[in-house]
Structure 1
Amino acid sequence: MAVQPDTARELVDAIFLFARTLRTTLVHHDSDLLPSALTGVLFLLARTGECRPSELAAEICVSQSALSRQIGELVDRGFVDRHPDPNDKRAHLVSCSPDGREILRTIQERRTERLTAELTDWDQQQVVEALAVVGRLNSTLAPIAGSTPQRTSS
């Protein structure tokens, strides 16, 4: 049976509220380490691997100029390496530096600790089931967003 429009609307609202809750519960607490926008860029760059900034901008769905500023700040902080593209000397490639991977590991550990503390009344099976549903939603919606779902562990 097809999903009813009212049910889909409720799901849209629930996902929006869930994303908001995640940001306030997990993400905002890391701003002392790295602003959330930069963390997002660094996270996706680490998952994508070395690439041109234009490719990363398309993946993140932001303008190249906005991403350029963020990449510049991450380079200044030592979290991103930038070097000329050997195939096109006019372009450059970016990648997550070892320091960038370390800050991501620290942020991931903090977020994992916070989430674990909040899920004390959940059992392992409930978390596995939630992970399966979120994974299925990502797999279903990623092609619409123009991205390819990738593994969730680092």
Structure 2
Amino acid sequence: MSVQPDTARALADAVLALGRSLRAVVFTSGETVIAPALTSVLFVLSTRGECRQNELAADLCVSQSSLSRQIAELVDAGYVLRTADPHDKRASRIQVSHKGFDVLRETTERRAERLRAMLDGWSQEQASAAVTSLLQLNETFTASVQQRNGRVQSAAPPQRPVRTEKD
């Protein structure tokens, strides 16, 4: 049985509301060393690995000019390394630096701790179910974008196992 139109609309509304709430939490928390948009770029680059900037722009669904400014900031701060592409001297390749991985780890730990405190009234099972649903939704969205763009390579972040109280 397929999803009913009302359910699809409610899910779309819930996803947009979640995005707004998440942005509000991140912006007001003061927990990031760098701007949230730069953190997102750094996170996607860390999961993708070394690549050309145009490949990362496609993964992020942003224009190359917008991403160029963000990458320049990350390179200037030492969070991203830019090297010449050995196969095309006109192009460059980018990757997260050790300093970039450090700031990502620090940011992720702070966010996880803050979220854990916010979910104080949730059970482990509820949180695990939410993770499972969000991962499935992300995989569905990613597959749809890849199909539309004719791409096979995964832009989805790696899945982390969810621990239950039984683990």
| Residue deviations 1:2-45 (CA, integer Å, cap 9, x gap) | 21111111110011001111111235424751011111111100
Runs of at least 4 residues off by over 4 Å: none
Q: Is the CA contact (8 Å cut-off) linking 2:48 and 2:155 kept in structure 1?
A: no
| Residue deviations 1:37-56 (CA, integer Å, cap 9, x gap) | 11111110011000000000
TM-score of the superposed pair, with normalisation by structure 2? 0.86
After TM superposition, list the pairs within 5 Å mapping 1:1-154 onto structure 2.
1-30=1-30, 33-146=33-146, 148-153=155-160
Q: Is the CA contact (8 Å cut-off) linking 1:142 and 1:149 kept in structure 2?
A: yes
How large is the Cα RMSD of the aligned pairs? 1.5
Equivalences, count: 153
Q: Which runs of 5+ in 2 are unaligned?
A: 147-153, 161-167
TM-score of the superposed pair, with normalisation by structure 1? 0.93
- For residues 27 and 109 of structure 1, do their structure 2 counterparts lie closer, same or farther at Cα, with a shift above 3 Å needed? farther
Q: Distance in 2 between matches of 1:31 and 1:121?
A: 22
| Residue deviations 1:79-123 (CA, integer Å, cap 9, x gap) | 000010111111100000000000011110110111000111111
Percent identical residues: 47
